[in-house]
A and B are shown apart, each in its own frame.
Chain A
């Protein structure tokens, strides 16, 4: 019978030991206890207690400051303690909005791995410091961002015109200039001028002031500014939101024509996936089997840009041959595509404009529209592209093309697209291009093609005469190899496409078939050639009549 007594004794001792161990680890062995014990302010040791930042509006309960004690309000840690560091000055007060809104991670956690979100089942790990600016995208939508060359030029203009003499921007310039007030002075800080808005008449006001003053920075640092420089400054100022890296990243996105295939927010193509929340992917749900490197979302995105199809099986996205710097910027931009439900109090203007009023996220000048949307298919210079396994995309800056294609033809093509082909109806989609934007785009295309204007055409749209049957034979013989049977398209454009035939003039077709497009495989059929048949004017017109008959079907 004694064995029951021993059972009771042994298991009671065991329970007691385990409870004592639990009590010790609970009260003495937690990391944050150790950190707070070693942290001291000038007045002495700090209270060892849980610290947190709570913001019910943002649904934030951030206990990060339990370890990062220096970032809690009002405590200056004098000890040489890495986690005791003070937050560097930023726009938003961290003691008000908390830590996780910007940095990600798990605010409620009090242990390092959990708090930094590097654990299974936490969908939003911390953003790497390198991509920290991506966090602005949680609430903000940078608007009016041009392409990268334009932005670079605008920034250089701002520097060249010595605006830094008086104005501070992202912590540079103004009175921070070497020499202080000698050469610089205190003008308004322009870091967030793109969000706040500014007086459109600033230039005349500046000019007037500079003419009144007799010396000082007004005289030495400001003089008349040329029209193009002022345009560049406007572009620059409109994009200032205190996150230069993010704006640069978005400018990179707007340079490579990504929106031609991918939608972001309220606009974009539909060949690729919608990227609107692609910065919010759960790394635990991603497939890393063929991804080298660490299992983080940012690395996954980087590797994906390097080699899309080997990261996502079956991806149609071509290898773009990006440089490391470009990949970095694009990764930062992709990571910035994140969202948080915000109470109205915290909704920034830019997001309201983008979400509720459909504001264009990129600058709506012809150049930016071209680089942001068209360039991935039609090439940075409009020379056309060809990706393995995908339809070849025509050159649109070919002088032979531009001289035949009227502005109306180009505008109509951009507006209505080519149904059934990769070219989308960019003017007829939801939140599509306005007529003014398309006009600017056409002007930019002509500029890209060396300012070739269309030869004026006085003929009616349809004038060619000929025999449909003969045209059909000739088409099958000469054209179908590239343009496909019945003009359904192949390596060459689909000539049987209804939107094309409705829009195109006979003059355009006769000219193109006869003269060809130099620099492409399309040789002029009216030109003498040793390797192919030369077509007469009547034969060419018959082919056109045949093509027109396709539209009637």
Chain B
């Protein structure tokens, strides 16, 4: 039944004019996010945003809580994703042609050089940020129950990030790439050192198998390139995206960011700026969690001292995203991504160096491959991965350097971590190592007694001392983690700046000669 003076034509004209506002309303059903309720529905009604909780605790928004490192990592990933997809339009994964295509990207593809520079810098920012993010999570004791599993996922993300960066390293197919990957593949082959010493390589060549799986051949060639390409553009990004989804989801399900027990009191002053939570309809329970039983952290606690995530959290997140973008673009302006000569299997680079984040490993690999390349890294990954299950204390959660010992212990651990790694390295550089002293020593001893092993032992002893002194597992963890971080820094710096041709020690790269 239609009204008498209804005109379909007029209706059509009105609808036509109203299209923009109707489309807008159809897209954002809750209306403009102006009240707490519409702000909430803005978030849970949006597929991209609903991983966020609709309200954010003020503690989480403090800059000192996370320093935004997780978002920096995510932002860097998004930047590499966008620039990487753009680069894929021009990149051709085949030996020599790959190099030519990078040259084309560099010289003639519109903004190609810029995009490649951003991609390269964002990748490095991501590696640095993921390491710092891990350190942040550790030092604020945010790995504890119920967040143990998310710490695991975080480790997976760290390894995947390194894998992404490493596989991307080969793609330009220049000398730098070729020999870095050759070194990397040789590190993968290092279990052969053990099997050789035991005389069983013939039957069980784990190292050779690992290398062959990595390269698809016995040398770095077209098979390796296509393998690395596939890993770099598909398998690893998908893995990373999936792990990230779980990681974010778990943050929410584990009760948001870790907070100290007295967080509410400490943000009380800031909270006064905001309306109390129950503005719209004080009589109603805030959300369903109130009637849910279980271990979810939000159960039994009111959403006080929180602010709507829209817009407060999003300002923070977008701010960090744009800051990261600014840093990557700024670096891309200052420095071009390297491209050396075309890969030439007949002319080894000397020194051939792995990507910078593996140079600490390469440094200890130079003494013995197995311990440096497999033994100690595995120890780190397993040992540090298990920290949340070994340290189940409560004290200090959510606090920087929280727990027994605190900042003072961390300071001393830094002294021990730096001093022992520098001294052990200085000793090994000055006086040589086992093979120089005892040329006839069995290979197995050389394999296992590596400066890295010695350092690990020192660090372990120090952290046992810390456990006993403070009668706390957290103290031991603080000591151990700090020491390893310092050792990683020292070894990486030595490998990067002080090792030259034939992996000899040089005070400065300008003394290398040749070039």
Give chain A's interface residues, CB within 8 Å of chain B.
1, 3-5, 7-8, 11-12, 14-15, 18-19, 21-23, 26, 50, 61, 63, 106, 108-111, 114, 120-123, 282, 284-285, 287, 289
**Interface size range of chain B in the complex:** 20 to 34
In contact, B273 and A22 (Cβ under 8 angstroms):
no
A22 smallest CB distance to B (angstroms): 5
CA A26 to CA B273, docked complex, whole Å: 47
Contact A110 B312 (CB under 8 A): no
Chain B residues contacting A63 (CB-CB under 8 Å) are: 107-108
What CA separation (Å) do A61 and B107 show in the bound complex? Answer: 12
Task: Determine if B111 and A121 form an interchain contact, defined as CB atoms under 8 angstroms apart.
Answer: no
**Interface set of B (CB-CB < 8 Å, partner A):** 61, 63, 100, 103-104, 107-108, 110-111, 114, 174-175, 270, 273, 307, 312, 315-316, 318-320, 322-323, 325-326, 329-330, 333, 339-341, 513-515
A282 to B111 alpha-carbon distance, docked (Å):
30
Cβ-neighbour of A8 out of B270, B273, B319 (below 8 A): B319
Verify B320–A7 contact, CB threshold 8 A. yes
Since A18-B326, A26-B111, A108-B100 are in contact, a sample of 5 more A-B pairs with Cβ atoms closer than 8 Å, ordered by chain A residue number, is A7-B319, A26-B110, A61-B100, A108-B103, A121-B175
Question: Are A110 and B61 neighbours in the complex by a CB distance under 8 Å?
Answer: no
Report whether A122 and B341 are in contact in the complex, using a CB–CB cutoff of 8 Å: yes
What residues of B have a CB within 8 angstroms of the CB of A18 in the complex?
A: 326, 329-330, 333
Is there an interface contact between A121 and B312, defined as CB atoms closer than 8 Å? no
Contacts known (A18-B326, A61-B100, A285-B514); A4 close to B315, Cβ less than 8 A:
yes
A270 to B256, alpha carbons, bound, how many Å?
76
Return chain A residues, CB-CB under 8 Å to B100. 61, 108
**Complex Cα spacing A419 to B514, Å:** 37
A109, B107: Cβ atoms closer than 8 Å: yes
Can you list 8 A-B pairs with a CB-CB distance of less than 8 A?
A11-B326, A15-B322, A18-B333, A22-B114, A26-B111, A26-B114, A110-B108, A120-B340
Chain B nearest Cβ from A7, distance in angstroms: 4
Q: How far is the CB of A403 from chain B (nearest CB, A)?
A: 53
B60 to chain A, nearest CB (A): 12
Q: How far is the CB of A539 from chain B (nearest CB, A)?
A: 57
Chain B residue nearest in CB terms to A23: B111
Shortest Cβ-Cβ A-B pairs, 5 listed:
A7-B319, A11-B322, A8-B319, A4-B315, A11-B323
Residues in B neighbouring A284, C-beta threshold 8 A: 515
Return the chain B residue nearest A22 by Cβ.
B114
A282 vs B515: C-alpha distance when bound (angstroms) = 10
Q: For B174, what are the chain A residues with a Cβ–Cβ distance below 8 Å?
A: 121
CB within 8 Å for A114 and B329 given contacts A1-B307, A61-B100: no
B119 shortest CB reach to chain A, Å: 14
Which residue in A5, A21, A114 is a CB contact (below 8 Å) of B315?
A5
Q: How far is the CB of B252 from chain A (nearest CB, A)?
A: 20
| Contact status B325-A11, CB under 8 Å | yes
B360 → A minimal CB distance (Å): 26
Contact of B333 among A22, A109, A110, A285 (CB under 8 A): A22
Establish whether residues A15 and B315, one from each chain, have CB atoms under 8 Å apart when the complex forms.
Answer: no
Instruction: Report the separation of the CA atoms of residues A287 and B104 in the bound assembly, to the nearest whole angstrom.
Output: 31
Contact check, B107 vs A108: say whether CB atoms are below 8 A apart. yes
Expressed in whole angstroms, the minimum distance between the Cβ of B57 and any Cβ of chain A is: 13
Contacts of B315 in A (CB 8 A): 1, 4-5, 7-8
Contact of B322 among A8, A114, A123 (CB under 8 A): A8
| Complex interface: chain B residues within 8 A of A21 (CB) | 333
CA distance A111 to B339 in the complex (A): 15
A15 close to B312 (CB less than 8 A): no
Q: A282 near B333 (CB under 8 angstroms)? A: no
A287 to B319, CA, bound (A): 50
- In the docked arrangement, what's the CA distance between A123 and B111, Å? 26
Q: Across the interface, name the chain B residue whose C-beta is closest to A108.
A: B103
CA of A258 to CA of B43 in the docked complex: distance in angstroms?
83
Q: In the complex the two chains form, what is the Cα distance from A23 to B114 in whole Å?
A: 10
A121–B513 alpha-carbon span in the complex (Å): 16
| Closest beta carbon of chain B to A215's beta carbon, Å | 62
Compute how far the CA of A8 lies from the CA of B103 in the bound complex, rounded to whole angstroms: 35
Choose from A3, A50, A121, A282 the contact partner of B108 (Cβ within 8 Å): A50
The CA of A284 and the CA of B316, in the complex, are separated in Å by 48
Q: Cα distance A122–B99 when bound, in Å?
A: 13
Whether A15 contacts B515 by the Cβ 8 Å rule is no
Question: How far is A121 from B107 in the complex, measured between Cα atoms in Å?
Answer: 15
- Rounded to whole Å, the gap between the CB of B325 and the closest CB of chain A is 5
Name the residue among B339, B340, B515 with the largest chain A CB count within 10 angstroms.
B515
Name B315's closest neighbour in chain A (CB-CB).
A4
